Amino acid sequence: MTDNHKQRMQKLKDKVDERIESATEERGLLIVITGNGKGKSTSGFGTVARAVGHGLNAAVVQFIKGTWACGERQLLENAGVKFEVMGTGFTWNTQDKEKDTIAAQKSWSKTKDLLQDKSIDVVLLDELTYMVAYKYIELADVLSALKNRPINQHVIITGRGCHRELIELADTVSEVQSVKHAFDNGVKAQKGIDW
């Protein structure tokens, strides 16, 4: 029994070692965190924190302004992370497409600067997927900016319903599935947990 286990583990280790050895390329990654479950933005911010902990330069663009300021902002700004937050014109509540488009395009224009800046190692584009879904910004423009970014720059895109072409372009894609959420049982959004 024990021997069997040992053998199995050794086999697994050999396989993993082989794969680690064959992964030699080093370059910036495009990561997409999508799906309906909770954990997309927190994953993106977690990665930013991880990068900053290693002394890398990071920037965050938030494409949807929530009702509350997110807790990560102050912490990460204090750590030197640049934040671009979409103007007050845009929240889920607005029904003014023209105003929203202007706000989205302003943030997208700042994003394009970041995607040309070699000094920025990691860029988090939080809730970008909706800007593409609602056609506030052009998919072709997004794809081209991502393809032409500095070779070593990592980009993380979060948001539900990510466009198929962004998923195809990405190196790593995770879909967060909702199994249950406290909100469904009447629990309101909790400070420090939900924002």
Q: Among 30, 32, 41, 157, which residue sits at the site for ligand ATP (rule: CB under 6 A)?
A: 41
Pick 73 or 150: Cβ nearer Mg ion: 73
* Degrees, nearest 5: CA angle 53-125-141: 135
Q: How far is CA 193 from CA 39, 68, 74, 190, in A?
A: 10, 12, 15, 5
* Residue 135 sits in the site that holds ligand ATP (CB under 6 A): no
* Residue 34 sits in the site that holds Mg ion (CB under 5 A): no
Smallest distance, Mg ion to C-beta of residue 116, A: 25
* Residue 129 sits in the site that holds Mg ion (CB under 5 A): no
* Residue 178 sits in the site that holds ligand ATP (CB under 6 A): yes
Smallest distance, ligand ATP to C-beta of residue 190, A: 8
* Residue 91 sits in the site that holds ligand ATP (CB under 6 A): no
CA distance 51 to 48: 5
* Residue 194 sits in the site that holds ligand ATP (CB under 6 A): yes
Backbone angles phi, psi at 102, to 5 degrees: -60, -45
- E strand or H helix at 92, and its extent? none
Only one of the segments 1-9, 32-40, 81-89, 149-157 lies at the binding site for ligand ATP (rule: CB under 6 A); that segment is: 32-40
Beta bridge pairs of residue 33: 158, 174
By rule CB under 6 A, what string of x and - marks binding of each residue 100-129 to ligand ATP? ------------------------------
Pick 40 or 163: Cβ nearer Mg ion: 40
Long-range CB contacts for residues 136-140, cutoff 8 Å, separation at least 24: 136/100, 136/101, 136/104, 136/105, 136/108, 137/104, 137/105, 137/108, 139/163, 139/165, 139/166
- Strands (DSSP E) along 128-186, which ranges? 154-158, 172-175
Q: Which residues bind ligand ATP (CB under 6 A)?
A: 36-42, 158, 160, 176, 178, 181, 183, 189, 194-195
